[in-house]
Structure 1
Amino acid sequence: MSVKLSGPLADRSSWSTEECSIGKAMEAVGSRTAMVLLREAFYGTTRFDDFAARAGVTDAVAAARLKQLVEVGVLEKRPYREPGQRTRNEYLLTQMGRDLFPAVFALMQWGNKHLQAAGGPLALVDGETGEPVTVAARTPAGEEIAPEDIAVRVNLDWLRQAGPR
């Protein structure tokens, strides 16, 4: 099973992977800690101490990864102040961060299926019906499509914008 490489991509030796979007995404959010912090953001965590505790990392590691996620644009810092306390920052998902939802929960779905006994400790379900929810590749019409039925082609809009290489 593999996706189909079409057009000039069919000859894999004739093109470079330097601009690979998967590689760029992994540079931005590819550490275990970053993904666990994103999981916590999706679960509603906003405060630094809660992120560090829930992710099971030191304050230094949490600070470094949260800073990275803010720099990339996945999270934003927003100041808050509780009465009698100093001003602190909370961390909120940006639209860029919210767009990671399918990727984060596809990893959860994969882990539940392949790495956990009995489907894992948590399940994604429809909030109203309780029906199971899955992350899958779909056409614009909403039809699920198997990886072997997907073709990868050159994005001409990207080429026009990126210019000659």
Structure 2
Amino acid sequence: MLGRTYDTQVCSAARALEAVGERWSLLIVRDVLFAGATRFADFQRLGIATNVLAKRLDALVDSGILERRPGADHSDRGGYAATRKGLDLAPVIIALTQWGDRWAAPDGPPILYRHTGCGGPIVERTTCSNCGEITDLAQVHVVHGPGMPQPR
């Protein structure tokens, strides 16, 4: 994982990877969001060692991406649910899946995201928030935002 200091790396992508960049983290979030996984046993189907799974779940809770929910009987055998912060990772997972479908799925997409209302495909696209135009990377440039430190 990346270091926790960003003296030379002022980048929100790098900071985001601290929360979800570990090998299993996005797969756990994917299963919460799209496969109905809520309990420790549900995530074991991913093939993660139990000690690693426990650490990943704790880290996702500590970072505010997942929250623990009490069991129906108010026991410790509750489950996990996505927070708003976790739900906001859905487009990231869909975009990463689209990339994987294009570059890492020689037999075609293994799963498809569909709109429940009409059955249409769900895709992530880069659009301009001003005009709504779908852009390609040739039309994207970077400018400093308010979080960029001023040069000394």
Which residue of structure 2 lines up, in the alignment, with residue 119 of structure 1? 108
* CA RMSD, 1 decimal: 2.1
Amino acid corresponding to residue 135 of structure 2 in structure 1 = I
Q: Which residue of 1 aligns with 2:120?
A: 131
Question: Where does residue 108 of structure 1 map in the other structure?
Answer: 97
1:97 equivalent in alignment to 2:86: yes
1:163–1:150 distance in 2 versus 1, CA, 3 Å = closer
Q: Distance in 2 between matches of 1:151 and 1:40?
A: 34
1:103-162 Cα deviation digits (max 9, x unpaired): 111111111111112422111222222222211111224331111111111113x24xx7
Q: Which runs of 4+ in 1 moved over 3 A?
A: 162-165
Q: Which residue matches 2:70?
A: 79
Q: Which has the higher strand share?
A: 1
Deviations, residues 71-107 of structure 1 (Å, cap 9, x unaligned): 111101111144xx94323111011111111111111
* 2:37 corresponds to 1:48: no
Residue 153 (structure 1) aligned with residue 137 (structure 2): no
Q: Secondary structure at the match of 1:151?
A: coil
State the SS of the aligned residue for 1:32: coil
**Residue 67 in 1 paired to residue 54 in 2?**
no
More helix by share: 1
Distance 1:38-1:25 versus aligned 2 partners, 3 A rule = same
Separation in 1, partners of 2:122, 2:8: 33
Provide the C-alpha distance between the structure 2 equivalents of 1:17 and 1:131, rounded to a whole number of angstroms: 43
Contact 1:81 1:87 in 2 (8 A): no
TM, length-normalised to structure 1: 0.78
Q: Structure 1: any 5+ residue segments left out of the alignment?
A: 1-15
> Identity, % of aligned pairs?
34
Q: Residue 143 of structure 1 corresponds to which residue in structure 2?
A: 133
Q: TM-score, normalised by structure 2?
A: 0.84
Asked if 2 retains the 8 angstrom alpha-carbon contact of 1:76 and 1:92, the reply is yes
Structure with max Cα Rg:
1
**Amino acid paired to 1:24:** R
